[in-house]
Amino acid sequence: MLSFIKNLLSIFLPFRCHVCKSATEFGQVICPGCRGRLSQILLPPLPVSDIRCDFAVFTLSRYDSFVSDIIRIIKYRPSFRLLKVLTEECLHQGSLRSLIKPEDVLVPVPMHLERLTTRGFNQAEYLAEKLAGHCRCHFSPALIRSRHTRPQADCDETERLTNLDRAFQLAPGLNRSAFYKRKIWLIDDVATTGTTMLKCAEELKTLLPAEVSGLTVSHSFRRSARTI
């Protein structure tokens, strides 16, 4: 009976893969082919070196890949259900538990209230919360975005440096002792030059943690010139 109803609904309400647009089963936002491709592309945490941050940053994929398309769809469609799929696949990267320790604190890169109202969710916050559950460590939305800024991706190299000035603050009423001498992980979906993480870390370092590190789902490695 249930499958009959599902078949009937799929005739009137056809579901399509948000990524490749092929028909999917009722309620599925990604087809088995795209999901399989996503799980193959995601990597165990990979250290990033070509970034502005003065602390360690790890990525779960390279930006010039299929994952970047998925992140774009999550943000601009927007699709919370596709975010859930991406997060589930990220958590399958087994080595996350050896990288993030139970005493560590995961802090998402915050989103301004105006953008949060439009999109309905902050993908970095959802990811950080689920990661914290997976690694059995602490989660804290310790930062707020105090002013609306242009997306870093829309700025040129010079604008990126000043676009985020005074954009982040510690959340009011924070229990500062909960961060003292602990390792803080900044969590974001994408890191390009690392300016966002750098600005967030400046605020977090005032909490006197043991150290700050970053983890992102995707990073665009700068291409080095080929020698011929």
Binding mask 85-124 for Zn ion (x = CB under 5 A): ----------------------------------------
CB of 80 to Zn ion, least distance (A): 18
32 vs 102 by CB, closer to Zn ion: 32
1 vs 13 by CB, closer to Zn ion: 13
Binding of Zn ion at residue 23 (CB under 5 A)?
Answer: no
CA–CA separation, 212 and 218 (whole Å): 19
Binding mask 24-63 for Zn ion (x = CB under 5 A): -------x--x-----------------------------
Specify the 3-state DSSP secondary structure of 170.
strand
- Rg, Å, the chain Cα set: 19
- For 218, half-sphere exposure in the C-beta direction (CA atoms, 13 angstrom radius) is 19
Region from 10-18, 139-147, 161-169, 187-195 binding Zn ion, contact rule CB under 5 A: 10-18
Answer for the pair 171, 141: CB distance below 8 angstroms, yes or no.
Answer: yes
Binding of Zn ion at residue 19 (CB under 5 A)?
Answer: yes
CB of 23 to Zn ion, least distance (A): 10
Binding of Zn ion at residue 20 (CB under 5 A)?
Answer: yes
Q: What strand order describes the sheet that includes 211-219?
A: 46-48, 57-59, 211-219, 183-191, 105-108, 138-139
71 vs 164 by CB, closer to Zn ion: 71
Burial of 174 (0-12, 13-18, 19+ CB in 10 A): middle
End-to-end CA distance of the chain: give it in Å, rounded: 65
Binding of Zn ion at residue 17 (CB under 5 A)?
Answer: yes
Kindly list the residues in this chain that would bind Zn ion in the complex (CB under 5 A): 17, 19-20, 31, 34
